[in-house]
Amino acid sequence: MALLVGLGNVGAEYEGTRHNIGFDIVDRLAHKLGSTFQPGEGSFVVAEVRYKGQNLFLIKPTNYMNNSGSSVTKAMAQFNQKPDQSLIIYDDLHLALGDIKLRPKGSDGGHNGIADVHEKIGSQAIPRLRIGIGNDFPRGRQVEFVLSPFRTEELETVNHIIDEAVQTSLDFVGLGLSRAMNIHN
């Protein structure tokens, strides 16, 4: 079993923004694997799927990004998952648009959603898939940048990276973290 969590903010005003690319990836995963999201037993929605004989639980928190940790811990408890059986998928402005990095653990890098996950699970040792959204913003405009939609000229790259992240997530499940890292990093 595996728990794949896409981070983002709920609400129509956040759809298609850089900060919601984690939601976009688990949405694409659910679609690819023929499932839809239903309410979970906590502040999240879940799509249950099977892949290569394994049960997968795709999760989207229904509270705001900065409070993602409570959703993750409730989902982990509901589906009896440990941190190493989970993958957190989220935006990272420290990576160039179109880059991805799969890691077994690490610091939050200033990402408030990941910081909250670390705090709530009590560890930084949870696999994560960081999705590069670029950092083309003036000093002091970080919040506006991450909450902005992708520019038209970026959409082809975004679509490609979502597909790549979907495959990376499936390889995490099917091949394991180490092999998936060797293939995709």
Tell me the catalytic residues: 19
Render the burial of 151-170: b for 16+ CB within 10 Å, e for the rest. Answer: eeebeeebeebbebbbebbb
Residue 12 CB neighbours (<10 A): 6
Q: Which residues pair with 56 in a beta bridge?
A: 2, 49
Q: Which residues pair with 60 in a beta bridge?
A: 45
Residue 110's identity, in one-letter code, is G
* HEC sequence for 123-164: CCCCCEEEEECCCCCCCCCHHHHHCCECCHHHHHHHHHHHHH
